[in-house]
Amino acid sequence: GAVDLIKAVLPGMRARGSGHVVNISSMTGLVANPPNVYYSASKFALEALTEGLAKEVAPFGIRVTAIEPGAFRTDWSSRSMQETRTPSEAYAATVGARKQLIKAAGSRFPGDPRKVAEAVLRVSEMAEPPLHLLLGHDVYKAYREKLTALLASIEEWKDVTLDVNFPPEPRT
C-alpha cells in the first residue's frame, strides 16, 4: 500500500518541486520482538524504503519521514490482533507469553493516539523534518538499547569485519 501510494504521488511532487512523504512505521520496524516478527519484517522494509527514498527524492525538494510510534492505546492489541487458530506449543513460553502480556496491557499502554496525530501534523508542516521520528518512551528506550548493543557488536567483531578484503595493491 505504501509503495503504491508513493508511486501515485511522486510525479506530482517532482513536478511541483516539493512535497513530503510521511510513512507510518512502528517501534517494531526498529526493534523486532515476538509475537509480531512478520509485522516487524514489513515495517523494517518500510524503514528501508523511507531511508532510500529520502536520498532519491531530496534533489527534487521532496522530504520523507518515518513515524515510529511505540505502544499506544489503540485496538491493535485486541480487536485488530490477528491470531493463529493453531498456536504451536513450542512457542508458548516465548511468543505465547509475550502475546498474552501485550493483550493484557493494551488498555494501559502509555501512548496517547491524539498526540501521535499532533506530532504527525507538526512534522508534515516542517521545512526540515526528521528522517525518523520516534514517538513514546518505550520506543526511545528500546531503540537506544538496540543501538548500544549494535555498536558494541560492531566493535567486538571489528577485526573480522576489516579482515575480509584483498590486501591493498602494491604501489608502483
List Cβ neighbours of 129 (8 Å cut-off, separation of 6 or more). 20, 63, 65, 123
Catalytic annotation, pick one of 40, 43, 77, 99: 43
Is 25 among the catalytic positions?
A: yes
Is 146 among the catalytic positions?
A: no
Is 26 among the catalytic positions?
A: no
Catalytic annotation, pick one of 7, 18, 38, 39: 39
Question: 12 exposed, middle or buried (CB, 10 Å; 0-12, 13-18, 19+)?
Answer: exposed
As a whole number of angstroms, the distance between CA 71 and CA 54 comes to: 26
Residues labelled catalytic: 25, 39, 43
